[in-house]
Copies of this chain bind each other. A is one copy, B any other.
Amino acid sequence: MPRPDVSDARRAQIIRAAIAVFQRDGFTNARMADIAQEADLSVGGVYWYYKGKQELVTDVMHHIFTTDLERMRAALDDERPLLERINEQIDSFIAVYRESSELRRLVQDMYAQALIDEERRAILAEYMQAFRTVMAAMTRQGIEQGLMRPDLDPDALATALFGMFDGILMQHSIDPDAVDWELSFRAGSAALIGGLMRHP
Protein backbone atom coordinates (compact mmCIF):
# COMPACT_ATOMS: atom_id res chain seq x y z
CA MET A 1 0.00 0.00 0.00
CA PRO A 2 1.83 3.05 -1.22
CA ARG A 3 1.70 6.13 0.90
CA PRO A 4 -0.27 9.02 -0.62
CA ASP A 5 1.92 11.43 -2.51
CA VAL A 6 2.39 14.48 -0.35
CA SER A 7 4.72 16.26 -2.75
CA ASP A 8 2.18 18.80 -3.91
CA ALA A 9 1.00 19.47 -0.41
CA ARG A 10 4.57 19.91 0.78
CA ARG A 11 5.49 22.24 -2.03
CA ALA A 12 2.40 24.30 -1.33
CA GLN A 13 3.29 24.35 2.32
CA ILE A 14 6.80 25.50 1.55
CA ILE A 15 5.63 28.16 -0.90
CA ARG A 16 3.24 29.47 1.70
CA ALA A 17 6.01 29.66 4.26
CA ALA A 18 8.38 31.27 1.78
CA ILE A 19 5.84 33.93 0.89
CA ALA A 20 5.38 34.72 4.55
CA VAL A 21 9.07 35.00 5.25
CA PHE A 22 9.90 36.84 2.03
CA GLN A 23 7.19 39.36 2.84
CA ARG A 24 8.53 39.92 6.29
CA ASP A 25 12.25 40.04 5.52
CA GLY A 26 12.63 40.52 1.78
CA PHE A 27 14.14 38.00 -0.59
CA THR A 28 17.74 38.68 0.29
CA ASN A 29 17.41 38.84 4.04
CA ALA A 30 15.12 35.85 4.30
CA ARG A 31 16.90 32.81 5.70
CA MET A 32 16.26 29.30 4.49
CA ALA A 33 16.19 28.16 8.09
CA ASP A 34 13.32 30.50 8.82
CA ILE A 35 11.38 29.33 5.80
CA ALA A 36 11.90 25.76 6.91
CA GLN A 37 10.68 26.53 10.40
CA GLU A 38 7.68 28.42 9.08
CA ALA A 39 6.86 25.39 6.93
CA ASP A 40 7.26 23.04 9.90
CA LEU A 41 10.10 21.30 8.17
CA SER A 42 13.81 20.93 8.65
CA VAL A 43 16.21 22.76 6.40
CA GLY A 44 16.94 19.56 4.54
CA GLY A 45 13.25 19.01 4.07
CA VAL A 46 12.94 22.23 2.11
CA TYR A 47 15.91 21.23 -0.02
CA TRP A 48 14.22 17.92 -0.77
CA TYR A 49 11.62 19.86 -2.73
CA TYR A 50 13.57 22.89 -3.88
CA LYS A 51 17.05 22.97 -5.33
CA GLY A 52 17.91 26.13 -3.46
CA LYS A 53 16.89 29.61 -2.51
CA GLN A 54 16.99 30.84 -6.09
CA GLU A 55 14.48 28.28 -7.24
CA LEU A 56 12.26 29.05 -4.29
CA VAL A 57 12.25 32.75 -5.11
CA THR A 58 11.49 32.08 -8.75
CA ASP A 59 8.70 29.69 -7.91
CA VAL A 60 7.16 32.18 -5.52
CA MET A 61 7.22 34.83 -8.23
CA HIS A 62 5.48 32.56 -10.69
CA HIS A 63 3.01 31.55 -8.05
CA ILE A 64 2.16 35.12 -7.19
CA PHE A 65 1.53 36.16 -10.77
CA THR A 66 -0.11 33.09 -12.24
CA THR A 67 -3.66 33.90 -11.14
CA ASP A 68 -3.47 37.48 -12.33
CA LEU A 69 -1.99 36.45 -15.64
CA GLU A 70 -4.76 33.98 -16.33
CA ARG A 71 -7.49 36.44 -15.53
CA MET A 72 -5.95 39.03 -17.82
CA ARG A 73 -5.61 36.61 -20.69
CA ALA A 74 -9.19 35.50 -20.31
CA ALA A 75 -10.31 39.11 -20.67
CA LEU A 76 -8.97 39.23 -24.21
CA ASP A 77 -11.45 36.65 -25.49
CA ASP A 78 -14.39 38.25 -23.77
CA GLU A 79 -17.37 39.24 -25.92
CA ARG A 80 -19.05 41.75 -23.62
CA PRO A 81 -19.20 45.51 -24.20
CA LEU A 82 -15.91 47.32 -23.88
CA LEU A 83 -16.56 49.65 -20.98
CA GLU A 84 -17.99 46.81 -18.98
CA ARG A 85 -14.84 44.78 -19.46
CA ILE A 86 -12.57 47.70 -18.68
CA ASN A 87 -14.40 48.36 -15.48
CA GLU A 88 -14.25 44.70 -14.65
CA GLN A 89 -10.51 44.68 -15.06
CA ILE A 90 -10.21 47.67 -12.80
CA ASP A 91 -12.57 46.12 -10.28
CA SER A 92 -10.71 42.85 -10.21
CA PHE A 93 -7.40 44.65 -9.87
CA ILE A 94 -8.86 46.41 -6.87
CA ALA A 95 -10.37 43.23 -5.46
CA VAL A 96 -7.11 41.31 -5.72
CA TYR A 97 -5.16 43.97 -3.97
CA ARG A 98 -7.78 44.51 -1.32
CA GLU A 99 -7.59 40.86 -0.35
CA SER A 100 -3.87 40.56 -0.33
CA SER A 101 -2.30 43.94 -0.10
CA GLU A 102 0.50 42.48 1.96
CA LEU A 103 1.66 40.66 -1.18
CA ARG A 104 2.68 44.06 -2.46
CA ARG A 105 5.84 43.82 -0.42
CA LEU A 106 6.84 40.89 -2.55
CA VAL A 107 6.08 42.63 -5.81
CA GLN A 108 8.19 45.55 -4.76
CA ASP A 109 11.05 43.29 -3.91
CA MET A 110 10.65 41.54 -7.25
CA TYR A 111 11.09 44.83 -9.07
CA ALA A 112 14.38 45.27 -7.26
CA GLN A 113 15.44 41.69 -7.93
CA ALA A 114 14.62 42.09 -11.60
CA LEU A 115 17.40 44.61 -12.00
CA ILE A 116 19.96 42.15 -10.75
CA ASP A 117 18.76 38.79 -11.99
CA GLU A 118 17.87 38.18 -15.61
CA GLU A 119 15.55 35.24 -15.03
CA ARG A 120 13.49 37.20 -12.55
CA ARG A 121 13.43 40.16 -14.87
CA ALA A 122 11.99 37.96 -17.59
CA ILE A 123 9.21 36.71 -15.34
CA LEU A 124 8.18 40.23 -14.47
CA ALA A 125 8.48 41.41 -18.04
CA GLU A 126 6.12 38.68 -19.17
CA TYR A 127 3.56 39.63 -16.56
CA MET A 128 3.70 43.32 -17.38
CA GLN A 129 3.51 42.67 -21.09
CA ALA A 130 0.40 40.56 -20.62
CA PHE A 131 -1.35 43.37 -18.81
CA ARG A 132 -0.37 45.90 -21.44
CA THR A 133 -1.52 43.63 -24.22
CA VAL A 134 -4.97 43.37 -22.70
CA MET A 135 -5.26 47.08 -22.11
CA ALA A 136 -3.97 47.97 -25.57
CA ALA A 137 -6.36 45.53 -27.24
CA MET A 138 -9.26 47.14 -25.42
CA THR A 139 -8.20 50.59 -26.52
CA ARG A 140 -7.96 49.38 -30.10
CA GLN A 141 -11.47 48.03 -29.90
CA GLY A 142 -12.60 51.32 -28.45
CA ILE A 143 -11.13 53.19 -31.41
CA GLU A 144 -12.58 50.75 -33.93
CA GLN A 145 -15.99 51.01 -32.34
CA GLY A 146 -15.82 54.79 -32.55
CA LEU A 147 -15.97 55.17 -28.78
CA MET A 148 -12.49 56.55 -28.41
CA ARG A 149 -10.49 59.18 -30.18
CA PRO A 150 -8.74 57.78 -33.29
CA ASP A 151 -5.44 59.51 -32.66
CA LEU A 152 -4.61 57.49 -29.55
CA ASP A 153 -1.58 55.27 -29.12
CA PRO A 154 -2.96 52.10 -27.56
CA ASP A 155 0.38 50.75 -26.39
CA ALA A 156 1.49 53.97 -24.77
CA LEU A 157 -1.83 54.31 -23.00
CA ALA A 158 -1.74 50.72 -21.80
CA THR A 159 1.67 51.40 -20.36
CA ALA A 160 0.38 54.54 -18.70
CA LEU A 161 -2.67 52.84 -17.24
CA PHE A 162 -0.82 49.86 -15.86
CA GLY A 163 1.84 52.20 -14.56
CA MET A 164 -0.78 54.27 -12.83
CA PHE A 165 -2.21 51.29 -11.00
CA ASP A 166 1.17 49.99 -10.07
CA GLY A 167 2.46 53.39 -9.02
CA ILE A 168 -0.54 54.02 -6.81
CA LEU A 169 0.00 50.75 -4.99
CA MET A 170 3.63 51.57 -4.63
CA GLN A 171 2.82 54.81 -2.87
CA HIS A 172 0.29 53.09 -0.67
CA SER A 173 2.77 50.48 0.43
CA ILE A 174 5.31 53.15 1.27
CA ASP A 175 2.90 55.42 3.10
CA PRO A 176 -0.43 53.68 3.78
CA ASP A 177 -1.85 56.51 5.89
CA ALA A 178 -1.25 59.18 3.28
CA VAL A 179 -2.62 57.31 0.29
CA ASP A 180 -6.20 56.22 -0.33
CA TRP A 181 -5.29 53.82 -3.06
CA GLU A 182 -8.80 52.77 -3.98
CA LEU A 183 -10.00 56.33 -4.36
CA SER A 184 -6.94 57.16 -6.41
CA PHE A 185 -7.55 54.12 -8.58
CA ARG A 186 -11.09 55.17 -9.35
CA ALA A 187 -10.35 58.86 -9.74
CA GLY A 188 -7.30 58.23 -11.86
CA SER A 189 -8.84 55.70 -14.18
CA ALA A 190 -12.01 57.76 -14.55
CA ALA A 191 -9.99 60.80 -15.57
CA LEU A 192 -7.66 58.86 -17.81
CA ILE A 193 -10.41 56.92 -19.57
CA GLY A 194 -12.51 60.05 -19.73
CA GLY A 195 -9.66 61.70 -21.58
CA LEU A 196 -9.77 58.96 -24.18
CA MET A 197 -13.40 59.28 -25.09
CA ARG A 198 -14.55 60.84 -28.34
CA HIS A 199 -17.37 62.78 -26.72
CA PRO A 200 -16.53 62.92 -23.15
Bound CA–CA A28/B27 (angstroms): 10
Interface residue A101 (Cβ < 8 Å from any Cβ of B) = no
Determine which of B112, B156, B188 lies in contact with A192 in the assembled complex, contact meaning CB atoms within 8 Å: B188
Min CB–CB distance A48 → chain B (angstroms):
11
* Residue contact A161 to B188, C-beta cutoff 8 Å: yes
Q: Which residue of B lies closest to A106 (CB)?
A: B115
Among the listed stretches A49-57, A82-90, A171-179, which one makes contact with chain B, having 4 or more residues with CB under 8 Å of it? A171-179
Interface residues of A in 157-200 (CB under 8 A from B): 157, 159-171, 173-175, 178-181, 183-196, 200
Which of the segments A3-11, A38-46, A61-69, A122-130 contacts the partner chain? A122-130
Give the complex CA separation of A125 and B191 in angstroms: 25
Q: How large is the interface on A (under 10, 10 to 19, 20 to 34, 35 or more residues)?
A: 35 or more
**Which chain B residues border A200 with CB–CB below 8 Å?**
195, 200
**A144 contacts partner chain B, Cβ-Cβ < 8 Å:** no
Residue on B with the closest CB to A127?
A: B174
Indicate whether A140 reaches chain B with its CB closer than 8 angstroms. no
B160 near A168 (CB under 8 angstroms)?
Answer: yes
The yes or no answer to A13 lying at the interface (CB within 8 A) is no
Closest 9 CB pairs of A and B: A163-B167, A160-B188, A167-B167, A195-B195, A191-B195, A194-B195, A112-B112, A156-B187, A164-B164
- Point out residues on A near B: beta carbons under 8 Å: 25-26, 28-29, 105, 108-109, 111-112, 114-116, 121, 124-125, 128-129, 132, 152-153, 155-157, 159-171, 173-175, 178-181, 183-196, 200
Starting from the known contacts A108-B111, A132-B178, A162-B167, 16 additional A-B residue pairs (CB-CB under 8 Å) come to A25-B116, A26-B112, A111-B111, A114-B173, A125-B174, A125-B178, A132-B171, A157-B188, A159-B168, A159-B180, A159-B184, A160-B167, A163-B163, A166-B170, A191-B195, A192-B192
